[in-house]
Amino acid sequence: MNKYAPGDVRPHLTRDHCLHLMKQMTRIRRFEEKCAELYTQEKIRGFLHLYIGEEAVATGVTEALGPEDAVVATYREHGHALVRGVPADRIMAEMFGRIDGVCRGRGGSMHLFDVGRRFYGGNAIVGGGLPLAVGLALADKMQGRDRVTVCFFGEGAVAEGEFHESLNLAALWKLPVLFVCENNGYAMGTALDRSESETDIHAKAASYRLPAEVVDGMNVVEVEAAARRATGAIRAAEGPYFLECRTYRFRAHSMFDPQLYRSKDEVAAWEKKGPVVRFRDWMVAAGMAHEADLARIEEEVAAEVTAAVAFAEASEWESVNTMLEEVGALG
């Protein structure tokens, strides 16, 4: 995966590393596209929130994490789980609701957990993960463990009280939380300037006295660099850090959304400067990658996705007889 130590604050733009970043983003992209297709075939039900267009944020930030660090994410978290190392087939099986899914199929798209990889969901409550991340970081600090907790959330969460309470608490107690706001401009159908008097989110975070940066969320290299700076500071016991990653989702909020709130031209404009296409063009122009490399990546990713779907299709359903188990440990 990533041969750079978590503490390394400088991104190394070697060919290998760039191809690795490209593959990670491609894995997310193709996985999400396949999920969309499967949803229309009713293999995946309920709600489906796709990360297409935002791949650079999860990819870049996760590069700065080590296996001991923790990740808290939102309902748009398939990509975050993938780059964290949660196997694609277990994720797909979970999306299908089958027993071989990461959560025995009980959670579905919005509730992916993999405790072994310190991936704590998946949360359908906007803002619901921030206090959880604060608590995980609190436990690390109290037990003297050198770990970072990353908390991903959208700019919609900024309106919730939990955002303010959690930033305040993290800054007050100097907790090792990396808050990553994925500002894609829309909380479902409501544009940011229609819901926030102050739309500069990193400025709000700064008012809680934590270091806060704006990052071009469409640029995976910039995201990784910022994440390394942030985690470096956090590991140096300087308290929490805040990254506002400005990005855009190319697809609707969820599958059943006619996108009445934004124009097709706007979407098209952002697609032209999307993370995958920009990085690919840059790599090719810089001689970092050749068409053959990119074709190989696509092939490998296609195989991974196909295998994941097959795994999910073949998986069984949890029996109704065990439905009452694991509400509590003792019953």
| Rounded-to-integer distance, Cα 46 and Cα 254, Å | 10
Q: In the complex with another protein, which residue's Cβ is closer, 115 or 269? A: 115
Provide the minimum distance between the beta carbon of 310 and another protein in the complex, in angstroms, as a whole number. 11
Provide the minimum distance between the beta carbon of 143 and another protein in the complex, in angstroms, as a whole number. 6
Contact 248, 54 (CB under 8 A): yes
| Rounded-to-integer distance, Cα 297 and Cα 89, Å | 18
Q: In the complex with another protein, which residue's Cβ is closer, 121 or 275? A: 121
Provide the minimum distance between the beta carbon of 138 and another protein in the complex, in angstroms, as a whole number. 5
Mode of pairing for the β-strands spanning 212-216 and 241-246: parallel
List of residues contacting another protein (CB under 8 A): 33, 36-37, 39-43, 45-47, 70, 101-107, 111, 113-115, 120-121, 123-125, 128, 130-140, 142-143, 149, 161-162, 165-166, 168-169, 172, 254-258, 260, 313-314, 317, 320-321, 323-330
The residues, any chain, with a CB within 8 Å of residue 279's CB and separated by 6 or more, are 18, 21, 22, 25, 56, 219, 220, 221
Amino acid in the structure at residue 53: G
Q: In the complex with another protein, which residue's Cβ is closer, 41 or 197? A: 41
Provide the minimum distance between the beta carbon of 115 and another protein in the complex, in angstroms, as a whole number. 4
Contact 106, 318 (CB under 8 A): yes
| Rounded-to-integer distance, Cα 295 and Cα 43, Å | 28
Q: In the complex with another protein, which residue's Cβ is closer, 114 or 293? A: 114
| Rounded-to-integer distance, Cα 167 and Cα 159, Å | 13
Q: In the complex with another protein, which residue's Cβ is closer, 33 or 213? A: 33
Q: In the complex with another protein, which residue's Cβ is closer, 219 or 231? A: 231
| Rounded-to-integer distance, Cα 149 and Cα 69, Å | 6
Provide the minimum distance between the beta carbon of 100 and another protein in the complex, in angstroms, as a whole number. 10
Q: In the complex with another protein, which residue's Cβ is closer, 36 or 294? A: 36
Token pair of 284 as six digits: 């090719």
Provide the minimum distance between the beta carbon of 111 and another protein in the complex, in angstroms, as a whole number. 5
Q: In the complex with another protein, which residue's Cβ is closer, 131 or 213? A: 131
| Kind and range of the H or E run holding 18 | helix 15-40
Token pair of 137 as six digits: 């970081």
Provide the minimum distance between the beta carbon of 264 and another protein in the complex, in angstroms, as a whole number. 9
Contact 121, 113 (CB under 8 A): yes
How many CB atoms are closer than 10 A to CB 324? Answer: 8
Check residue 192 and report its DSSP letter.
G
| Kind and range of the H or E run holding 232 | helix 220-235
Provide the minimum distance between the beta carbon of 302 and another protein in the complex, in angstroms, as a whole number. 12
